[in-house]
Structure 1
Amino acid sequence: MNPRLAGIDPRLYLITDSAQCGEAGRSVAETVREAVAGGVGIVQVRDKDIDDDAFYALTREVITAVDSAVVDSATAGTQRRVLIVLNDRVAVAQRLLAEGADVHIHVGQSDTPVEQVRERIGPEPLIGLSAADDAEFAAARDSSAVDLVGIGPVYDTTTKTDAPDGIGPDRLGDLVAEARLPAVAIGGITTARAAELRGRGLIGICVVSAICRAEDPRSAAQDLLAEFGDGRAEGAQ
């Protein structure tokens, strides 16, 4: 694994959805705190419908929630580092980094180019990139700026209305091998499907609805981790 990911358990990666959390009767921060307590190791803050000031405030709430869950884990004897990743919002990341926050960035192919992101946020934060084919993987490797790639959608998903059809677990495994970068899978992943993604070369799985809409985010996270296992082990093929 990339040494820059040292100390992180990337197996379960939560992407927040403010609307889904609200529909479940919780704030994003409340959802994040319970999910991290259940084992989530990476939290991506995502909300396309609010301005930068509101996004900054949301991220600050998430940072507090993660810190609270990590402190509770440390009290129980488990030392953890949980990554907080901002979806695109480079200006917000710069503001938080200037304040001493430990935040990172994920961008899509149509967002700020990764080379520009690296110039703006400096050498330390991790950068994730959504990528789906050999040309995009090659560009990610050539940039020397990308630390991990998100590949999907694995299954059909309703979280993003413009998402293409799911590629399926077998094609996912092929793409992970082509990427030659640490990779996480995203798109339509549920507890029932998590075991199908074992043995595909992934470092982790990304979920939105499986936790944001869950009745109990802590239990949902625990169940997802139990099904995905260590991720690299052989599973359902």
Structure 2
Amino acid sequence: MNGPERHESARLADIDTRLYLVTDSAQCREAGRSVADTVREAVAGGVGIVQVRDKDIDDDAFYTLTREVIDAVDDALADGPGTAGAGSTSVGTKRRVPVVLNDRVAVAQRLLAEGADVHIHVGQADTPVEEVRELIGHGPLIGLSAANDAEFAAARDSGAVDLVGIGPVYDTTTKSDAPDGIGPDRLGELVSEAGLPAVAIGGISTVRAAELRWRGLIGLCVVSAICRAEDPRAAAEELLAEFGDGTTTSSDAS
């Protein structure tokens, strides 16, 4: 690929990264479901990573929410062939779905101490990734939102980042302060510049998923497309069908 040499993470090796759900408690409530119910159905439909995000609750409530999400993932995986739960550190599972906490490092430390398999995603204004790695150890994944050469270079140089989230790809109302969407073509350029495994986020719907094939991504992050869906399981299946195995570059596909 063009751009910086790509740094792959061994921690991603056993994960299907193509579809990454970021939860939104308010959207789930509006759809008439709990976050846990939404996650359970979405994982059954093929979601491979779940990020728990809720900026409006305190750490104790966030801990409880994360435990509910871990249980929901475990339930979904228990219905599949040969699986161990998200909250387990068991080896030999055929399918592993990591549960990622949005920033809440103290909550992650508490859960890790209890033996849960949890991970962290931070933004540029959150806890620095080097500090996160010191606090949670070598095992968990660390994701970082990044958007330009300087942020990508800092992520690579830190040695702490496993994957970057790039966006918003399209205009989105999920975050009130989100900038305008960058579009699929600019996304592809940024993925090439990142030099780290990258997922796209922001305004991604079923009808847009196919536009993001062959952009060098390891997957798509979605919020509303699943949290607001009438049927989260079907929504996940449809997103995966549209994105397909679109996790390489156009040159790789040709």
Fold agreement, TM-score > 0.5: yes
Q: 1:23 aligns with which of 10, 14, 30?
A: 30
1:156 to 171, 188, 192: 171
Partner of 1:126: 141
Q: TM-score, normalised by structure 2?
A: 0.90
Correspondence for 1:208 among 209, 223, 239 = 223
C-alpha RMSD of the superposition? 1.3
- Using the alignment, how far apart are the partners of 1:113 and 1:232 within structure 2? 28
How far 1:4 moved relative to its partner?
A: 1.4
Secondary structure in structure 2 of the residue aligned to 1:74:
coil
* Cα distance in structure 1, aligned partners of 2:222 and 2:170: 12
Aligned residue number for residue 47 of structure 2 = 40
Q: How does 1:82-93 map to 2 (within 5 A)?
A: 82-93=97-108
The answer as to 2:9 corresponding to 1:2 is: yes
The correspondence for 1:51, drawn from 39, 58, 68, is: 58
* Superposition pairs of residues 1-237 of structure 1, within 5 angstroms: 1-74=8-81, 79-232=94-247
Aligned to 2:89: none
Using the alignment, how far apart are the partners of 2:76 and 2:63 within structure 1?
20
How far apart, CA to CA, are the structure 2 residues paired with 1:82 and 1:127? 15
Poorly superposed stretches of 4+, deviation over 3 Å: none
Residue by residue over 1:16-65, the C-alpha shift from the partner in whole angstroms, topping out at 9 and shown as x without a partner, is 00000000000000000000000000000000000000000000000000
Contact persistence 1:73–1:79 (CA under 8 A): no
User: Deviations 1:149-180 (Å, cap 9, x if unpaired)?
Assistant: 00000000000000000000000000000001
Distance 1:127 1:80 in 2: 20
| Structure 1 unaligned blocks of 5 or more | none
- 1:234 to partner: Cα distance: 6.6
Query: What TM-score do you get using the length of structure 1 for normalisation?
Result: 0.96
- Give the Cα separation in 1 of the matches to 2:63 and 2:248: 38
Q: 3-state SS of the aligned residue for 1:14?
A: strand
Identity %: 82
Structure 1 distance, partners of 2:32, 2:210, is 29
Distance in 2 of aligned mates of 1:70 and 1:7: 15
What is the one-letter code of the residue matched to 2:31?
A
